[in-house]
Amino acid sequence: MKRRIIKIVGIAAAVLLFTGYFAFSTFVFSPFESDYEFDLATLVPRDVDYFSAKSDLEGEFSSFPKLDFMRRMERSERGQRILASPEWQARAQELGLDQWFTDLEQQLAALPIPVDPLAVVGGREMALAGYATADTFERSEWAAYLRTNWVGKLGVSMLDYPGLLGLDAQGLKVESNEDHTVISGGEIQGSLFVTRVRDVLVVSNASRLVVAARDLNARAGEDSLGQSASFHDNVTTNVRDGDEVKFAIDYADVASRFGWPMDGPNATSPEAPTAFLGRMFQYSLMREMTGLIGFKRGLSIEIEGEFNSDSMTPLQRKVYRQRDADQQAMLDDVARFAPEDVGLFLYGEADLESLLGTYLSSIERAARSNLETEILRPVFGFDGVDAWVEDLATIFDDRFAFFMRENDYATLESDPPSDGLPTMAWTLVLWVENLEKLEAIRGKINGNQARFGIRGAESGSAGVFVNEVDGGNSIFEYWAPLVPGTGHIASASDQDFLIVSNNFRMLGQVLATYYGTQYGQSGERSGRLSDFGPFQGLVNAGLPSATVAVWINPRAIGAGLRAIERQKAEDNAFRDVDWTLERQRIEKSVLKERYPEEVWGALTPGVQEQIDPLVEEEIEVFRRQYRAQRVPALAGYAERMLDSIELIKYGLVQLRLELKDFQLEARLIAPLDD
């Protein structure tokens, strides 16, 4: 009897399970349905204007809704200072971040059971794509793609039964079609189109993106963004950690619609650096771009893009056509000049005639005219800047290196007189093609010292000195009091290169670093940047060739930058003070207190003579009080900006320019626990 009952119960259970499975699979979704095995980009049309995707969303949150990055910032001493800064607080208040986090945490805490939104929907991967069909993102056509779990699948399936979800009561209208659902009404602007492709939930305000997702799935991603050559070659094959942000954008279309920069930088700006950049590059040159952004122990950016070469100027074509610098050669041959503790190292290969000529044409006309009339014509015999630049191009190869470090070298009373202002020690390296012409330039400078502001410690005395250093090199010192901080320029050269620095001691260190010899009175040896592990690692992980490469080590020059910024704060303390108005205000105040019967603006000479010393005293009081308030404010702002920059421990930025395309890679190491 027992066996019979058990058998009947077993059969009934099997029937119920089968019936339940069949009903659930028919009306909801199949519990054994496999996931979508391809990249989300294969559900996106190839011609979208923008796309971005991020995997491992859950990994970015130690506790939702705050990013793990923010929690690590809160535990870091430097991060705490940044988060407590007035600039961060003002920005957070403007965006309403604190209130948003508080409201969301309260709403989650009020739920009857603990809920992690990312865990509910899966938290694995999300993508956003669309067409820039309007002037804002919200009004353009967009679609969100989210890998979900059974909860998300159930939610989509339940849209077929809006009554069960109480959507009618919320004023929402749900219309079920064969392959997607349309939601409208309530607070929804327009309509939302929803569909599901296996474990991928697709929500869009444009039906064509939802329909396209279904169609691309049926055609195994054929003609999708994910199977386009540029996305596959520049994004898919370059993924390293698996959690990078993938992106693709048609900059020209998006910028023209969303109001992003298209014109600029301003090639006619009165500021020479801005005008120079504007002549070398314009935003309107950029077209389609693809790339990756990673966040492991810092920030890494890899971008490959296309240029609209038809819009390039002859100058841009000439510069962009230049050969790239081989990064292994930079590592082996160029970085050996630089001490390992430099805070900035820049190396590039570009048309020096175009670069220098363009920059000099960007400076003020008066400064350019002064250069021509005071130096180029009388000293070198050139009619103008262009002829001089053309001649320089025959002396030097089209490559250069520039680096700087702390100016912490010991000084002596016999050193060149200087203004004593804080400065960085810097060095410029140029490669020589015509040593004879270079020696001729040096002779012209020696014979016209006064024109170059060169003079010795005594007025009228010669200011050029030559010192022999180990290795047989001669260092030429040009004493010039107008050179900030050091009061001189130093140079050394051989058959292959010319080295110029604002500190003869750094120049000696650079030569010793290059040749591997000792330098200084104590016989020190300087480690080379080329042998520095972090530098080697970033170069080897970067582009094989680049037009320009920049290495940064902000913490190595932090003390020097702070000293410079403190001096700037002192120099700029009264920049916003209108002394004419301020003197009038003080004069009226003194007059009211001491001579109330007098009328300001109609004083007798005797009264004016009596109040002038009093006014000067009050002005000095004002200066002391204003400086006591303004200098700490300016210096404090600079300190906070440097704190932010010093989140970066090491970094390498590389840019490769070609006529039709470009590559940009930036790898910034920013360990918050340092």
Please give the torsion angle defined by the CA atoms of residues 68, 72, 78 and 82, in that order, rounded to the nearest 10 degrees.
30
Q: Which of 49-63, 117-131, 358-372 has the highest mean pLDDT?
A: 358-372
- Decide if pLDDT at 5 tops 60: no
- Decide if pLDDT at 564 tops 90: yes
User: Hunting for tokens 């002192």 — which residue is that?
Assistant: 570
Beta strand 325-326 with 344-349: parallel, antiparallel or unpaired?
Answer: unpaired
- Decide if pLDDT at 479 tops 80: yes
pLDDT of residue 111: 45
- Decide if pLDDT at 609 tops 60: yes
pLDDT of residue 604: 79
Q: How far is Cα 401 from Cα 81, in angstroms, rounded to an integer?
A: 35
Half-sphere exposure (CA, 13 Å, Cβ side) for 457?
A: 6
Beta strand 245-250 with 50-55: parallel, antiparallel or unpaired?
Answer: antiparallel
Farthest CA pair distance, the chain: 131
pLDDT of residue 569: 93
User: Hunting for tokens 């159930």 — which residue is that?
Assistant: 154
- Decide if pLDDT at 270 tops 60: yes
List, for residues 193-233, the tens digit of each pLDDT value: 888 888 888 888 889 999 999 999 999 889 999 999 999 99
More confident residue, 501 or 261: 501
List, for residues 89-112, the tens digit of each pLDDT value: 777 777 666 666 666 566 556 544
Q: How far is Cα 371 from Cα 55, in angstroms, rounded to an integer?
A: 57
CB 50 within 8 A of CB 254: yes
Beta strand 650-657 with 245-250: parallel, antiparallel or unpaired?
Answer: unpaired
What is the token pair recorded at 210? Answer: 């939802």
Q: How far is Cα 58 from Cα 119, in angstroms, rounded to an integer?
A: 8
> Of 17-21, 43-47, 369-373, where does mean pLDDT reach its minimum?
17-21
More confident residue, 99 or 392: 392
* Entry pTM: 0.84
User: Hunting for tokens 């016999």 — which residue is that?
Assistant: 414
CB 70 within 8 A of CB 131: no
List, for residues 504-555, the tens digit of each pLDDT value: 999 999 999 998 876 655 567 778 999 999 999 999 999 999 999 999 999 9
- Please give the angle made by the CA atoms of 427, 430 and 433, to the nearest 5 degrees: 160
pLDDT of residue 393: 92
Nearest alpha-carbon partner for 483 in 460, 507, 455: 455
CB 128 within 8 A of CB 166: no
Helical residues (DSSP H) of 342-434, grouped into ranges? 352-362, 365-371, 385-392
More confident residue, 358 or 326: 358
- Give the torsion sign (CA, 109, 114, 120, 122): positive
pLDDT of residue 86: 82
- Give the torsion sign (CA, 410, 416, 420, 425): negative
- Decide if pLDDT at 10 tops 70: no
Q: How far is Cα 59 from Cα 448, in angstroms, rounded to an integer?
A: 66
- The mean pLDDT value of the chain amounts to 84
Mean pLDDT in residue range 423-452: 94
> Of 165-169, 239-243, 307-311, 315-319, where does mean pLDDT reach its minimum?
165-169
Q: How far is Cα 638 from Cα 645, in angstroms, rounded to an integer?
A: 11
Mean pLDDT in residue range 634-660: 91
In the chain, the percentage of residues whose pLDDT exceeds 70 is 83
Per-residue pLDDT band for 137 (boundaries 50, 70, 90) equals confident
pLDDT of residue 171: 67
- Decide if pLDDT at 284 tops 70: yes
Residue type, 502: N
pLDDT of residue 324: 73
Q: Cis (ω within 30 of 0) for the bond into 265? A: yes
- Decide if pLDDT at 26 tops 70: no
More confident residue, 66 or 557: 557
More confident residue, 117 or 444: 444
Residue type, 536: Q
What is the token pair recorded at 25? Answer: 């699979």
What is the token pair recorded at 182? Answer: 């349309």
CB 503 within 8 A of CB 486: yes
- Decide if pLDDT at 190 tops 90: no
> Of 38-47, 120-129, 277-286, 446-455, where does mean pLDDT reach its minimum?
120-129
Per-residue pLDDT band for 14 (boundaries 50, 70, 90) equals very low
CB 340 within 8 A of CB 549: no
Residues whose CB falls within 8 Å of the CB of residue 120, separated by 6 or more in sequence, listed in order:
149, 151, 152
Mean pLDDT in residue range 643-671: 91
Mean pLDDT in residue range 560-573: 94
pLDDT of residue 155: 65
Per-residue pLDDT band for 30 (boundaries 50, 70, 90) equals low
